[in-house]
Chain A
Amino acid sequence: MTRKTLIALMMVLAVVAVGGCKKKKPVTNPDMTITPTTVEPTQEVAPATEPAIAGDQTPDPLSGDLVAADEYARSQGLLGDIFFDYDAFELRQDARDRLAQNAKFLTSHPEFILTIEGHADERGTNEYNLALGDRRANAAREYLSTLGVGGDRLRTVTYGEERPFCGESAESCWQQNRRAHFTITGRTNVG
């Protein structure tokens, strides 16, 4: 399956899947306790999005189709993936920093629904890695929630080691595959 058809599929899913409303639940993992000081308390328009809003004559790349919006957000560094240690789902400092940036974009763009993919490198076992990928995606989701991104805007899906980003058998590649990947997959009624 190509990435685009998958994204399209997930868009359909995003529209359909309303039933399972996720309640925000207390953070259970001690390693994921949040230091609120790193968080901007109120919603602000992130400076990076300003040109798009200011220029009335040029179409806002974020108002186009979701794939284009996703690509734009990624290319502008508004939305980025986070990486994990081997066997781990705890958020590293670089992951928390990246999530704070992602949260900034998402709070200033409440119209977007996001899917968080959890991935694992090939070295674990396939079925355990599915569970590990699920943990990683949910760790990212919970952290984004504490940064003010509503849980109803965040979906998760685990791919375990079944859809690697990188195919070499080397640590540089394995690190690439231990990630949570963020994709814009829908719009809320807000936008």
Chain B
Amino acid sequence: MKLDRYEFKAGDKFLTYEFLSEGPKGKIPKVIQFSLVNQASLLFNLAFGDKDRETGEIDDMVITDNGDSEKVLGTVVAAVYAFCDKFPEAWIYATGSTEARTRLYKMGINKYFDIVQEDFEIFGLTQNEWERFIKGKNYQAFIVQRKNLKFNV
């Protein structure tokens, strides 16, 4: 299975990414950002939202309804791969701006689970603790870390 995704651009530090969502509502710029949460643990928050073409403001609450949510999530997954190529030890935390958005994230992980579980440790946050992600289960938040793909032969 291949990731259906948009092409995207990144800043020099690979912390910020931008791509264009294309659909019935037109071309909508979206920005993905990885923000440092805890330096010692190399924990980053992953979030994304729409960029207003006129003001440049970023909004993660807007409902774009551009008919391409799966492709958008595929693009976010691709950005995670790109980010982890630069920061292979990083932990990446993500949660939705609403419960519905968090469920959308879960759906995205479910859809691409077979691809990403080969390369990432994936956990979901229950009421009490982190547990390994179980397909179909609802979580408050998610956290992933790139598996160590380097070994000596």
**Bound pair: A and B?**
no
A residues at B contact (CB < 8 Å):
none
